[in-house]
Amino acid sequence: TRPSTQLAITGMTCASCAMRIEKKLNRLEGVSATVNYATGNARVTHSPDVGVETLVATVEKLGYGARPPE
Ligand code: 9UX
């Protein structure tokens, strides 16, 4: 089964931030993401080829923070 990763997103200050992050993540090959502004969480299902570090780096490149669950 495909990995499903939850990320805690920091730095979002409006609902458009969530959409921005979601669109960017979904541009990655083999990634399907939803970002919830209200909860500050991203739920990402992805190909096993896509590492969590890649997801985090993608979010950070947009200027937000992303932290996988401990
Ligand atoms: Mo949410 Mo707007 O950042 O530039 S406040 S997208």
In this structure, the dihedral spanned by the alpha carbons of residues 46, 52, 54 and 60, taken in order and rounded to 10 degrees, is 120
Report how many domains make up the chain.
1
Nearest CA to ligand 1 atom 3: 17
Residues 6+ apart with CB under 8 A from 48: 2, 3
Which residue segment(s) compose the domain that 34 sits in? 4-67
Task: Check which CATH number belongs to the domain holding 54 and give it.
Answer: 3.30.70.100
ipTM of the complex: 0.81
pLDDT in tens, 9-54: 999 999 999 999 999 999 999 999 999 999 999 999 999 999 999 9
- State whether the beta carbon of 20 lies less than 6 angstroms from ligand 1: yes
Distance CA 64, CA 58 (A): 9
Indicate the pTM of the whole model.
0.93
Q: Of 12, 20, 7, 6, which Cα lies nearest the Cα of 64?
A: 12
